[in-house]
Structure 1
Amino acid sequence: MIPKRISLFYLIFTILLILLSCQKKKNISKKETSNNTEVNKLIATANTLFDNHKFNTAFYYYNEAIFKCNPEKDAENYIRTLNRMAIIQQTHGDYAGSETTITKALPFTKLVKNQLHIWNLYVTLSSNYLDTYDYKNAILYNKKALQLNVTNWQKLAAKNNIGVALIQEKKYLEALDIFIPLETKKEVIRNHEFYSSLLDNIGLCYFKTDHSGKDLEYMKRALEIRQEINSPLGLGKSYIHLAQFYEEKNPSLAKKYMFLSYKEFSKINYIDGKLSALKMIIRNSSNKELKTYANSYINLNDSMHEVVQKAKNQFAKIKYDSKREREENLKLKTHKAENELKLERQKNRNIISYIIIALSLCLILILYYYLTSKANREKIEAAYNSETRISKKLHDELANDIYHTMAFVENKNLSLAENREHLLNHLDTIYSRTRDISKENCTITTDENYIVLLKEMISGFSTSNINIILNDLDNISWNEINKLKKITIYRVIQELLVNMRKHSEASLVGINFKATDKSIVINYTDNGKGIDTEKIIFKNGLSNVESRIVKLKGNIDISTNPDLGFKAFIKIPF
């Protein structure tokens, strides 16, 4: 009856939730409109500005697109847009802002089918880590890019990026292992910018690993290609590497390359390159020349920090203004709808509250009656089991003794002293059995007299033929153990000793007590005839022992076989 009631209430509650959920989805679907067209227009505008190097305005339109783009439904546009924003911030030296922007895209990479977008994301992130001297992460994300399903060109570029990061870590031999196989790739050779950069890096690695001859050869080959394509960035890097090569061998030639490097970097205002060239010039200058270039370095460094900070502030302002404008527009759009739905929502909340309260009260009442009924059943069952056990003992042990005693009285001459003595022995046996049954089912004192009562019970099983050795009982802090556990220990030991006396024919019994930090350990051993392990659960009262211990979340381990005695290891937690 009770399970049916519970199922009915759950069914009503589930139906209510489904109806409310459907209503919410309907309301949301009315409010949502397709804005893919608007997002695509914003991205197209931003891309045009980006290609024309109007980065600040491009950043604004990209940021607008991000606010309107749903990353779960349009993950490709979301990732591609964030990647462009991160590149703009990275170009302006805002590496922290770039990392914050790009990492927003990482949770949505699993939703993208075209893995080229993920490749661009990983490469931008690795470049950001490279610029912030986090070379391990730079290598990690290039390795992730290598695992993607992209063209061979993208894979070669990722490998080259790993080599560049290894150069920064001064692992030149490992970098060479990556660069050398790339030298013969057709895709690399056809791309003069890539090929010249590769050759220059190989030359630098050979120079750093003291491979005389090869280093200068590669550097010059790279320089020739860069002169042909007139790449200021590439030429600046070639000149600075040649300056490093000649710095000790030919200082005047090295200084010439330093100035050439500074000149090429200045054409494109590559601040990091100009600073690197100035460092070398300062290191190889003296007197007035040293002072002049030191001042140039300081001024350039200060201006760079100022530009970077302005860029950070500008990008942060664009994000903030866009967010504030969006929030204000959203408030205006939703204000009217909120007023119209306010009354309806309040009414729905009241209805739901009443239903939930009613269902909760019903469930509490059902649970209360169920638990009460269960507890009553358990009490009745326990009483029945106790009565059955006592009845069985009275029938199996006491009734047989009384019957034999009555038969003895009827058939024997009690005037004889021998028969009277025999009768007294029978009566004493009956008294002992009655006392034992009384002790087994009497109320157990768990106060400070508990240990005395426990000892008396154990000693009651000791006879002229049975010796019981008790160890470390007094070492247990019994006052710290709760009442239920004391009663269980008493009954468990009593059951084991009753089982011993009735079945084992043991002459020696050992009971050892031990207290650990978390439990009480009892080791019981006797030298009786043992028990068949297949029958332990169902005979000899051991099922009572096991059930009592399990209720306390303890455990019992029994070791016994016919003619090999009986051992029980009992562990009860505090």
Structure 2
Amino acid sequence: MRKILNFLKNKIALKYLFAILILIILVSTLYLLKSNSNQTQLRSKDNSSKIKRILEKADILMDTYKYDSCYYYYNKAQSLCNPETDYVDYVYALTCMANVEQYQGDYIASETSLLKTLPYLKKIKKPRFAANVYEQFAANYYYTFDCNNALLYYTKALHLKTSYYRKISVLNNISTVYIRQKKINLAISILIPLSKLTTICKTDKVLNDIEHARILSHIGSCYHAQGKLEALYYYKKSLAMQLKLKEYDGISYSYLHLAEYFQTRDLSLATTYAKKAYFYSDKINDPVIKLQSLKTLSKTTSGNDLKNYSTQFIQLADSITKASHKSKKQFARIKYYFKKYNTENLQLKAYKAESELEIERQKIYNIILPIIIALILIFVAFLYFHLKSKGRKEKNKAIFESELRISEKLRCELTNYVYHSLTFAETADLEKRENKEKLLNNLHTIYTKTRNISKENGFVPTNESFSTALKEMIAGFKTADLNIILNGFDQISWNELEKSKKIILYRILQELFANMKKHSQPTLVSLTFKNFEKKIVVLYSDNGVEAYNRSIILKKDLVNIENRILNIKGEIDILSITERGIKVEIKLPLR
């Protein structure tokens, strides 16, 4: 145990010990934080896998034109996403939802879904996600006949660092906007150079041919708008490519374009192509092309056929309207239930996260708290031994200084008397009465001075007799040549003054009087005592000489006592130093 205590007293050893303890705390905290972070990442990874599985299922349903079902799963996927960490899947799911909403003709809902993606596009390194969003925006504006905004977002998509194929596709879409704006020459200036490209998509020949067929179809639309016969060549060339690819969506559009082309030229051919457009659009369940096909048939036929196609057109138009309303309601219902699900899910997640956080906090407390307690105990032990050692040193220093001061005083005041008395005793005839009396007087003087020195450094009573002892000490300095005046002494409640402060006040006044008697020889000393703001104020003044030199000596004599006064929040000030004397003010708090 003694070895441990000696070790704790060693400052260098303590520094190393504190450093080790702090290091342990830091390592423990970092370990717990890392453990918590790993658990969070693991949970996030598990959730990410679940999201990807749902998205794969939604994509399959999307490819088979099952829009209600795929919308449900896209919505489910985005609801599971944490946008701050799963931003890629979140943006993808919302973009697909916007695509379905656009297909159903709900362009406002589509735009709302797309707007949610904008804050996270900058986080995604792959520009194709931003391109998808911008192209969806552009398509929404195109279908709502806002061509200026459609061009704006297609241009944004074009400026992204996407693939060569993607840029060709965007340019192709831009040409459709110009066609709608009747800016046919602008559209042709884009489409003709594109049609001469041998390779559009290097990685996928099917995509390459599909895009090339779309370009040819749009060129046909341009020439058709201008009334040029070249339109037929491009329509047929596009159709041939679509038939080869078995791209039913493109085939139905190509047949529809041919039906519209022959509508003013050959009603029989127009009817044939319109029927084929209807047939292929029915295969892919595209109500828009079916409706346009029936509209063309109602213009190219007559009699019962006209009546039949017109009836089908009206029925399909009503069906599309009802289906659109139904789909919108269905999507609204899906959104409502998912919103409710999300709210409940978020509450559950918040509760779970709070519980897990509380567990982690408890772990940290269980590990770090004992270390902190040990650290505090070691610090308290160090502080205790340090203060004890410091107090012992200060006490020894005070004893040493006191002994040194007493020794100095004895040397200064008694050496000459003792030396002369011994010399006198050795040389003088002590049988003579006058010599004997002189020796006795010298011995009495030595005794008196020794007694005074003893009193100055002796016991100071701090009980009820303190005021009496203080008065006696002051009165001891009074002589026939020195008058001491006390003012307000009896007005002070001496019993309220703390014991340590009584001793300090006693020693200060004792030092002042001793200094006065030794260095200035005044004839009058005034001591004024008063209570002021819970303090005892003592004003000392005398009419001694050599005030300047005396102030230097006084400051030197009072330096030890001054430190003790400051420790008890007291004050001692030399107010004035003149040829007429000196004034000193002492302030001591009662408590």
**Matches of 1:37 and 1:181 in 2, distance apart?**
49
- Report the Cα offset of residue 274 of structure 1: 1.0
Q: Which moved more, 1:30-39 or 1:215-224?
A: 30-39
- Report the Cα offset of residue 341 of structure 1: 12
In structure 1, the partner of 2:270 is 254
**Matches of 2:332 and 2:158 in 1, distance apart?**
33
Give the one of 169, 175, 178 matched to 2:187.
Answer: 175
Q: 1:198 to 1:328 in 2, by over 3 A?
A: same
Does structure 2 retain, via aligned residues, the 8 Å contact 1:202–1:215? Answer: yes
Q: What is the letter of the counterpart of residue 50 of structure 2?
A: K
Listed one character per residue, the Cα deviations across residues 358-390 of structure 1 (whole Å, up to 9, x for unaligned) are xxxxxxxxxxxxxxxxxxxxxxxxxxxxxxxxx
Q: What is the letter of the counterpart of residue 149 of structure 1?
A: K
**Matches of 2:357 and 2:82 in 1, distance apart?**
25
- Report the Cα offset of residue 315 of structure 1: 1.9
Q: 1:64 to 1:249 in 2, by over 3 A?
A: closer
1:207 equivalenced with 2:224 (yes/no): yes
In structure 1, the partner of 2:125 is 113
Listed one character per residue, the Cα deviations across residues 220-279 of structure 1 (whole Å, up to 9, x for unaligned) are 211221222233222222222222222222222222222222222122121111111111
Q: What is the letter of the counterpart of residue 48 of structure 1?
A: K
Any residues of structure 2 matched to 1:293-442 within 5 Å, and which?
Answer: 293-332=309-348, 334=350
Any residues of structure 2 matched to 1:9-48 within 5 Å, and which?
Answer: 33-34=40-41, 35-48=44-57
Q: What is the letter of the counterpart of residue 199 of structure 2?
A: E
1:232 equivalenced with 2:248 (yes/no): yes
**Matches of 1:105 and 1:337 in 2, distance apart?**
26
Listed one character per residue, the Cα deviations across residues 514-572 of structure 1 (whole Å, up to 9, x for unaligned) are xxxxxxxxxxxxxxxxxxxxxxxxxxxxxxxxxxxxxxxxxxxxxxxxxxxxxxxxxxx
In structure 1, the partner of 2:283 is 267
Q: 1:336 to 1:161 in 2, by over 3 A?
A: closer
- Report the Cα offset of residue 187 of structure 1: 3.0
Give the one of 209, 215, 220 matched to 1:192.
Answer: 209
Q: 1:33 to 1:241 in 2, by over 3 A?
A: same
Q: 1:181 to 1:341 in 2, by over 3 A?
A: closer
Q: 1:294 to 1:100 in 2, by over 3 A?
A: same
**Matches of 2:244 and 2:357 in 1, distance apart?**
70
- Report the Cα offset of residue 55 of structure 1: 4.0
In structure 2, the partner of 1:83 is 95
In structure 1, the partner of 2:140 is 128
What is the TM-score of this pair, normalised by structure 1? Answer: 0.50
What is the TM-score of this pair, normalised by structure 2? Answer: 0.49
**Matches of 1:174 and 1:149 in 2, distance apart?**
24
Q: Secondary structure at the match of 1:210?
A: coil
**Matches of 2:314 and 2:83 in 1, distance apart?**
44
Does structure 2 retain, via aligned residues, the 8 Å contact 1:72–1:111? Answer: no
**Matches of 2:289 and 2:282 in 1, distance apart?**
8
Q: 1:156 to 1:69 in 2, by over 3 A?
A: same
Does structure 1 retain, via aligned residues, the 8 Å contact 2:127–2:160? Answer: yes
Q: What is the letter of the counterpart of residue 218 of structure 1?
A: Y
Listed one character per residue, the Cα deviations across residues 3-35 of structure 1 (whole Å, up to 9, x for unaligned) are xxxxxxxxxxxxxxxxxxxxxxx9xx9999442
In structure 1, the partner of 2:433 is none
Listed one character per residue, the Cα deviations across residues 132-188 of structure 1 (whole Å, up to 9, x for unaligned) are 333222222111011101111111111011112222223221111111111122333
Larger-gyration structure (1/2)? 2
Q: What is the letter of the counterpart of residue 49 of structure 1?
A: A
1:50 equivalenced with 2:59 (yes/no): yes
Q: 1:40 to 1:128 in 2, by over 3 A?
A: farther
Does structure 2 retain, via aligned residues, the 8 Å contact 1:94–1:311? Answer: no
Q: 1:334 to 1:236 in 2, by over 3 A?
A: closer
Listed one character per residue, the Cα deviations across residues 469-507 of structure 1 (whole Å, up to 9, x for unaligned) are xxxxxxxxxxxxxxxxxxxxxxxxxxxxxxxxxxxxxxx
Q: What is the letter of the counterpart of residue 125 of structure 2?
A: K
**Matches of 1:128 and 1:32 in 2, distance apart?**
42
**Matches of 1:233 and 1:61 in 2, distance apart?**
24
- Report the Cα offset of residue 81 of structure 1: 1.7
- Report the Cα offset of residue 101 of structure 1: 0.8
Give the one of 53, 77, 93 matched to 2:105.
Answer: 93
- Report the Cα offset of residue 61 of structure 1: 3.4
**Matches of 1:279 and 1:101 in 2, distance apart?**
33
**Matches of 2:292 and 2:347 in 1, distance apart?**
51
Q: Secondary structure at the match of 1:269?
A: coil
**Structure 2: where are the runs of 5+ without partners?**
1-32, 359-591
Q: Secondary structure at the match of 1:211?
A: coil
Q: What is the letter of the counterpart of residue 254 of structure 1?
A: A
**Structure 1: where are the runs of 5+ without partners?**
1-25, 343-574
In structure 2, the partner of 1:244 is 260
Q: Identity of counterpart residues, as a percentage?
A: 35
Q: Secondary structure at the match of 1:66?
A: helix
Q: 1:198 to 1:341 in 2, by over 3 A?
A: closer
Q: What is the letter of the counterpart of residue 320 of structure 1?
A: Y
Does structure 2 retain, via aligned residues, the 8 Å contact 1:223–1:235? Answer: yes
Does structure 2 retain, via aligned residues, the 8 Å contact 1:42–1:61? Answer: no
Any residues of structure 2 matched to 1:139-178 within 5 Å, and which?
Answer: 139-178=151-190
Q: What is the letter of the counterpart of residue 102 of structure 1?
A: L
**Matches of 2:139 and 2:151 in 1, distance apart?**
10
**Matches of 1:245 and 1:291 in 2, distance apart?**
23
Does structure 1 retain, via aligned residues, the 8 Å contact 2:51–2:81? Answer: no
- Report the Cα offset of residue 337 of structure 1: 8.7
Q: What is the letter of the counterpart of residue 212 of structure 2?
A: Y
Does structure 2 retain, via aligned residues, the 8 Å contact 1:43–1:81? Answer: no
- Report the Cα offset of residue 64 of structure 1: 3.0
Q: Secondary structure at the match of 1:187?
A: coil
**Matches of 2:224 and 2:356 in 1, distance apart?**
76
Q: Secondary structure at the match of 2:199?
A: helix
Q: Secondary structure at the match of 1:45?
A: helix
**Matches of 2:349 and 2:243 in 1, distance apart?**
59
Q: What is the letter of the counterpart of residue 219 of structure 2?
A: I
In structure 2, the partner of 1:279 is 295
Listed one character per residue, the Cα deviations across residues 78-107 of structure 1 (whole Å, up to 9, x for unaligned) are 211211221222233333222211121123
- Report the Cα offset of residue 293 of structure 1: 1.4
**Matches of 1:120 and 1:110 in 2, distance apart?**
14
**Matches of 1:253 and 1:271 in 2, distance apart?**
22
